[in-house]
Amino acid sequence: MSTWDRFVETFFNAKVMLKYYPDILSGMVVTIELAVLIVVSGLLAGLALALLRALAIRPLNWLIIFVVDLFRSLPPLVIIVLIYFGLPAAGLSPSGFVSTWLSLAFVLMAFSEEIFWAGITSIPRGQWEASRSTGLSFWQTLINVVLPQALRLTIPPLTNRTIAITKGTALGTVVAVTEILGQASSAMSNSYNPSPLMMGAAAYIVLFLPVVVAARWIETKFAWKR
Amino acid sequence: MIETFLNPEIIAAIWPIVLAGLWNTVLLSLIVVPLGLMGGLMLALLATIHHPLVRWPLMAWVDFFRAFPPLVLLVLLFAGLPFAGLELGGFACVAIAFFLNTGAYYGEILRAGIESVPTGQVEAGRSTGLSRLQAMTHIVLPQAVRNVLPDLLSNTLEVVKLTSLGSVVAVPELLFQARQAQSVTYSPTPIVLAAIVYFLLLWPLVRLLSRLENRALAGRR
């Protein structure tokens, strides 16, 4: 057997791949579920915090800034481990799935709050004053005048950050979530063969590469023309 | 509550273990950040060659590593390569994975920085007799780095946070040490302590970044 044959036999073993591809597929479903939950809840929570911050209530803003700073400085894996292994001591036992979801949603919330807030503050005061003087309320001004302009600004940094955090779903494998990497790792140790891992790697590329390419396109479309 | 999550006796007992982890995290960061920057600089310099045969493979390379989770890369190196007869230690795997992954991110940032310097400056420099290399190192790069400094710092923060992945391949950094201590003491205190240490270590950088970013976005209007 030539070296090449042995390489293929080891890393792309047809028999092993045939046996374990359903596991990888079910891992992909879990990864997609986690990713969608994280993106939706993280971005909504981030936007909600940014809107609350616009109310300019001093103690509330300090609290928001502290929470945001906290989740920006802690590594996501530390947050996952903290929730998964720490909360049971307080009587709560979130599953690995829930721990990963909550952790990454908090991280995305923190980053997106900063981006949304920067977008909101970048709208000149004059626009607020003009809208309010035409009789719009605070919330009407925020939602109808400021936010549409602010959101456009935030799209390029937001897409990048969202992809980077969503990739973190792979961290769930540390707390026994059966997403792609978890499935691939256990299939590898059951079959003593790295082919499932190669399939898992391919699955990530299939899921995330289109998103990265789309993000590149979005970045150029919404880029600031100077 | 304090008894469970920040038990003073446990803290006193495990403090040396966590401290050793902190030291290793700092050391690991001091190695992988320059490594990633080096990889990124190489990619950014390659990107100045505007030939399709360089451009497209480069873009594919960068997009590949932007799409590929760093933990998967690390596991692939750590658990996959031994099947090809190549057994690297956890530390070497972390170094290679970071060089590839964070290099792609640093590369994109530095490329944007280099593109932000007007070409007229290179032409002016070249016309005074500077070589291409001299024009790059003396004129373009200093301005490029200054223009994208917030992004570079922000990525560096992410890289330092990412060193916690080392715990998965048994590199004795802060998170790994805390988890070891946790499994000995059956208490969440070591993990909480590690989180506090990470926060104290990185909070100043987060504060600085938040100021820089707000100024950058506000300044564009």
Q: How far is B1 from chain A (nearest CA, A)?
A: 8
Q: Evaluate whether residue B205 is within a structural domain.
A: no
Mean pLDDT to the nearest integer, B141-158:
94
SS (H, E, C) chain B: CHHHHCCHHHHHHHHHHHHHHHHHHHHHHHHHHHHHHHHHHHHHHHCCCCCHHHHHHHHHHHHHHHHCCHHHHHHHHHHHHHHHCCCCCHHHHHHHHHHHHHHHHHHHHHHHHHHCCCHHHHHHHHHCCCCHHHHHHHHHHHHHHHHCHHHHHHHHHHHHHHHHHHHHHCCCCHHHHHHHHHHHHCCCHHHHHHHHHHHHHHHHHHHHHHHHHHHHHHHCC
Mean pLDDT to the nearest integer, B192-221:
83
Q: Evaluate whether residue B182 is within a structural domain.
A: no
Q: Evaluate whether residue B190 is within a structural domain.
A: no
Residues on chain A touching B165 (C-beta within 8 angstroms)? 77
Class of domain A3-222: mainly alpha
Which chain B residue has its CA at the smallest distance from A3's CA?
A: B84
**What pLDDT score was predicted for residue A224?**
59
Residues on chain B touching A89 (C-beta within 8 angstroms)? 4-5, 187-188
Residues on chain B touching A124 (C-beta within 8 angstroms)? 221
**What pLDDT score was predicted for residue B8?**
85
pTM score: 0.91
Q: Evaluate whether residue B210 is within a structural domain.
A: no
In this predicted model, which residue has the larger pLDDT, B11 or B200?
Answer: B200
Which tens digit of pLDDT belongs to each residue from A20-78? 999 999 999 999 999 999 999 999 999 999 999 999 899 999 999 999 999 999 999 99
Mean pLDDT to the nearest integer, B191-208:
95
Which tens digit of pLDDT belongs to each residue from B96-117? 999 999 999 999 999 999 999 9
Total domains, chain B: 1
Q: What is the ipTM of this complex?
A: 0.90
Q: Evaluate whether residue B103 is within a structural domain.
A: yes
**What pLDDT score was predicted for residue B141?**
94
- Across chain B, what does the average pLDDT equal? 91
Mean pLDDT to the nearest integer, B159-171:
94
Q: Is the pLDDT of residue B202 over 80?
A: yes
**What pLDDT score was predicted for residue B216?**
65
**What pLDDT score was predicted for residue A226?**
42
Mean pLDDT to the nearest integer, B72-91:
91
**What pLDDT score was predicted for residue A74?**
96
Q: Is the pLDDT of residue B217 over 70?
A: no
**What pLDDT score was predicted for residue A218?**
86
The answer to whether B69 contacts A193, with C-beta atoms less than 8 Å apart, is no
Residues on chain B touching A92 (C-beta within 8 angstroms)? none
Q: Look up the domain containing B57 and give its range.
A: 21-173
What count of CB pairs under 8 Å joins A to B?
146
Q: How many CB atoms lie within 10 A of CB A42?
A: 26
CATH number at residue B120: 1.10.3720.10
Which ranges of chain A have pLDDT less than 50?
A: 226
Which tens digit of pLDDT belongs to each residue from B59-73? 999 999 999 999 999
